[in-house]
Amino acid sequence: MRLYMQLTVLLAFSIAIVGCASEEKVVDDRPKPPQTAEQQRYVEGEIIVRYEDNFSEQSIHSMLKVHGAKIKQKLPGENQYLIQLPFGYLVRSAVPLYNGLIGVKWAEPNYIYRMMQQPPIERKPPVKRIKIRKVNGE
């Protein structure tokens, strides 16, 4: 009985300590950046689909119609299309769906690329003369 009471007290004490300590850990209080294109991984509302070679554009149109989607752009390469999803249809739902369709080789998000430049440098180049060239012989 005495051991049980000791355990209970110890447990309560440790829970209180751990609770306080854990409270700090769950908050990521670092400043958050604005949601910009740099952070987006792909364009919402459109996906890229590569169809089997024997699928005509007409049959693709018909297939897309079933899902309320349409061709936004024919892409270079064989039977590759940028597909406009119906309003409200999420890319993360569409990609597995289309990858499971007959006639689809692969489907993927239209990923967004990032410029590989660092933040602008404050340092200004010294002023140099720039050659002025007349345009159109004026």
Partner 1 sequence: MVNKIMRNGYVSMVKKFLSIFIVAFMFSLNANAANPKYVPGEILVKFKDGVSDFKKMGLRNSALHQGQSLRKASLVNTISQLSIERWALPEGESVETAMSELKKNESILYAEPNYYLHKMALPNDPYYVDGDQWGLGAIDWLDVWEGNPQPDSSGVTVAVVDDGVFASHPDLDDRLVPGWNVFLGDSSTSPNFDTSPGATHGTQVAGIIGAEINNNTGISGVAPGVKIMPILFTTDSRRTTADAADAFYEAIRINADIVNFSYGAYFYSNLLADAVKALEDEGILLVTSAGNDEVNNRYVPIYPGSLPNKNIITVSSVSETGNMTEWAQYGAFSVDLLAPGDNVITTSVYVPDDPDDPVEANYAYVSGTSFSAPFVAGIAALIKGEYALADMYEIKGRIMAGVETHATALDKVAAGGIANAANSLSVIPAPVLVIKSADVDSSGNGIIDSGETAELVIELENIWSDATTVEATLVPLDSKISIEDPTKSFGNIAKGGTASATYSISLDSFSGHRHIPFQLDISYSGIDLAPRFFSLESGRLVNEVQLNASFDNSGYDDMHYYYFNVPVGTESFSITATSLKDIDLFVMRGARPLLYPTMNKHLGGEGYEYIYDYEDDDDLEKIGFSRSVSSSGNELISLPNPVSGDYFVAVYNYGQSTGTSYTISAQGISSGSTTFGGGGGGNINMLLLLALFGFGTALRNRKH
Using the rule CB under 8 A, give the single segment among 21-29, 53-61, 62-70 that binds partner 1. Answer: 21-29
Q: Does 22 bind partner 1 (CB under 8 A)?
A: yes
Q: How far is the CB of 137 from partner 1 (least distance, A)?
A: 14
Judge contact between 49 and 84, C-beta under 8 A. Answer: no
DSSP assignment of 23-74 equals HHHT---SPPPP--TTT--EEEEEEEEEE-TT--HHHHHHHHHHTT-EEEEE
Judge contact between 52 and 79, C-beta under 8 A. Answer: yes
Q: Does 23 bind partner 1 (CB under 8 A)?
A: yes
Residue 123 C-alpha from the chain's centroid:
33
Interface with partner 1 (CB under 8 A), residue from 2, 5, 132, 138 = 132
Taking residues 87 to 126 in sequence order and writing x for each that binds partner 1 by CB under 8 A, - otherwise, the string is: -----x-------------x-xxxxxxxxxxxxxx-xxxx
Q: How far is the CB of 90 from partner 1 (least distance, A)?
A: 9
